[in-house]
Amino acid sequence: MKTFYIETFGCQMNAHDSEKVIGTLLSQGYQKVETPEEAELVFYNTCSIRDKAEQKVFHRLQQFKKEHGKGKTFAVLGCVAQQEGERIFEKAPHVSLVCGSASYNKLPEMLVQLESGNRRVTGLSLDTEDTFETPMTRRDNPHRAYITIIEGCDKSCAYCVVPFTRGPERSRTSASVMSETLELARAGYSEIQLLGQNVNSYRDPSPAGWDFATLLDNVGRVQGIRRVRFTTSHPRDFRKSIIDAIDGNTALCNHVHLPVQSGSSRILAAMQRLYTRDEYMERIRWMKASPRAIAITSDIIVGFPGETEEDFEATLGLLDEVEYDSIFSFKYSRRPNTSALALDDQIAEEEKVRRLTIVQERQRGIQIRRNAAYLGSVEECMVEGFNKATSQWIGRTSQNKTLNFLRPGRDEDLTGHYLEVRVTRAGPNSLVGEAVN
């Protein structure tokens, strides 16, 4: 039996793609091993969102070339595979398979080609209407399951490679999403995360014609499903009906990740984000008006070409105005194929570093204040595991906050259980508490 190892970089879409790829490989008779040294086939499922992410896979391939790469077959999957295509064979001649996510349906055939000695196997077509579904998906976590509802992206944000690496938008039918949810609920999963590059532009291709809010609500009404999350959303397609669904269905987590990227309407236009700051803030007001205390998180890019000090101040002002529960913040990174590549007025690296540091300090203060407001409150946590170093259980609230807690005198495994926890301490990035009996 052939052995394989897989390492995954990047987002949850990639993590879930790897679960499906693993299922496919197992069903083809391959055996999974935990280190690349033991494996005959080594897969890297890659990310190219920023230059640093892309470089990781080339470092890995380089390491192996020098050390123990002999006799192994290397495969590059995912976003770098799609972006670099056959150039990977030149950069790393020991790679034999290069395959983007839109071609994973063809993996079984590609494996046959590899087995028959073909050393240049590719799956790079983006011309597809299919999504990658497989009944063999090997999920990593027994309690929380990812479900892809839409693949690809039809937006053209000036900085972003995703439309080039994941192809055009394709939605799954609501019937297939619902039957997967039912199956997962029956198998004991209680939390579902709906995934897509742009989940809220979901459009049921079947005659039922559900929009995203309808799908979300129905997934949350499946018996046994206690929590539903979704990521990631684009403000342009974010309708009030999503908040209405959250208001009316407690199985839908009170957390929305709504990437803003910049607080300056001028930069948003240059980024081709298709909304202004005011339009974005309207969506924030819908969330703040909800009776459910919806946690709001975001992504920020600093140093987009042409970003002036005034634009940057507008982003800081937006952080203060929204008071996000947390953010991911990044320095703008120039990406191949994207339209921003051609823009003049690139911001110097030191200046990007300075702005990023300021954004992160500002946000840290906001999080310290926001989290302190939870002191004394009782939150329901889903237990994710146990931290031996601190003797604390690791919990997650519906708002997606980490709440680590003590539960003295019990040693059964609580992973996957839901417990009420009283918050006793608050830091910028997590809460600490004690289980309530």
Q: Rule CB under 6 A: which residues touch ligand 5AD?
A: 49-50, 159-160, 259, 261, 299, 301, 330, 332-333, 335
Query: Least distance from C-beta 48 to ligand SF4, angstroms?
Result: 5
Query: Least distance from C-beta 207 to ligand 5AD, angstroms?
Result: 33
Partners of residue 6 on adjacent β-strands: 43
Cβ nearer to ligand SF4, comparing 157 with 178: 157
Q: Is the peptide bond before 338 cis (omega within 30 degrees of 0)?
A: no
Q: Which of 22, 61, 110, 162 binds ligand SF4 (CB under 6 A)?
A: 162
335 binds, among ligand 5AD, ligand SF4, none (CB under 5 to 8 A by kind): ligand 5AD
Cβ nearer to ligand 5AD, comparing 196 with 259: 259
Asked if 13 is part of the footprint of ligand SF4 (rule: CB under 6 A), the reply reads yes
Token pair of 228, please? 């539903």
Token pair of 24, please? 């496919």
Q: Which of 79, 103, 95 is nearest to 21 (CA)?
A: 103
Length of the chain: 437
Query: Least distance from C-beta 284 to ligand SF4, angstroms?
Result: 24
79 binds, among ligand SF4, ligand 5AD, none (CB under 5 to 8 A by kind): ligand SF4
166 binds, among ligand SF4, ligand 5AD, none (CB under 5 to 8 A by kind): ligand SF4
Q: Are 281 and 332 in contact (CB under 8 A)?
A: no
Collapsing DSSP states into helix, strand and coil, what is residue 418?
strand
Q: Are 326 and 319 in contact (CB under 8 A)?
A: no
Interface with ligand SF4: number of residues (CB under 6 A): 13
Q: Which of 4, 5, 6, 10 binds ligand SF4 (CB under 6 A)?
A: 10
Asked if 131 is part of the footprint of ligand SF4 (rule: CB under 6 A), the reply reads no
Question: Rounded to whole angstroms, how far apart are CA atoms 165 and 333?
Answer: 16
Q: Which stretch binds ligand SF4 (CB under 6 A): 131-139, 160-168, 293-301, 368-376?
A: 160-168
Asked if 165 is part of the footprint of ligand SF4 (rule: CB under 6 A), the reply reads yes
Asked if 333 is part of the footprint of ligand SF4 (rule: CB under 6 A), the reply reads no
Q: Which of 79, 194, 296, 383 binds ligand SF4 (CB under 6 A)?
A: 79
Q: What single-letter amino acid sits at 179? A: S
Query: Least distance from C-beta 303 to ligand 5AD, angstroms?
Result: 9
Question: Rounded to whole angstroms, how far apart are CA atoms 257 and 241?
Answer: 16
Cβ nearer to ligand 5AD, comparing 52 with 186: 52
330 binds, among ligand 5AD, ligand SF4, none (CB under 5 to 8 A by kind): ligand 5AD
Query: Least distance from C-beta 328 to ligand 5AD, angstroms?
Result: 7
Asked if 234 is part of the footprint of ligand SF4 (rule: CB under 6 A), the reply reads no
Q: Which of 166, 292, 352, 401 binds ligand SF4 (CB under 6 A)?
A: 166
Asked if 257 is part of the footprint of ligand SF4 (rule: CB under 6 A), the reply reads no
Token pair of 388, please? 């031996």
Q: Are 248 and 216 in contact (CB under 8 A)?
A: no
Asked if 11 is part of the footprint of ligand SF4 (rule: CB under 6 A), the reply reads yes
Question: Rounded to whole angstroms, how far apart are CA atoms 374 and 79?
Answer: 39
Asked if 253 is part of the footprint of ligand SF4 (rule: CB under 6 A), the reply reads no
Asked if 47 is part of the footprint of ligand SF4 (rule: CB under 6 A), the reply reads yes
Q: Quote the distance between the C-alpha of residue 43 and its chain's center.
A: 20
- Helices 349-372 & 309-322, crossing angle to 10 degrees? 10
What is the phi-psi region of residue 172: left when phi exceeds 0, alpha when psi lies from -120 to 50, beta otherwise?
Answer: beta
Cβ nearer to ligand 5AD, comparing 138 with 155: 155
Token pair of 357, please? 């540091």
The bridge status of strand 295-302 relative to strand 255-257 is parallel
Q: Which stretch binds ligand SF4 (CB under 6 A): 122-130, 161-169, 175-183, 411-419?
A: 161-169
Q: Which of 41, 49, 81, 382 binds ligand SF4 (CB under 6 A)?
A: 49
Question: Rounded to whole angstroms, how far apart are CA atoms 238 and 120?
Answer: 42
DSSP per-residue string spanning 198-265: TGGG-B--STT--BHHHHHHHHTTSTT--EEEEE---GGG--HHHHHHHHT-TTB-SEEE---B-S-H
Only one residue has tokens 């110097």, namely 348
Which residues of this protein are in contact with ligand SF4, per CB under 6 A? Answer: 10-11, 13-14, 47-49, 78-79, 161-162, 165-166
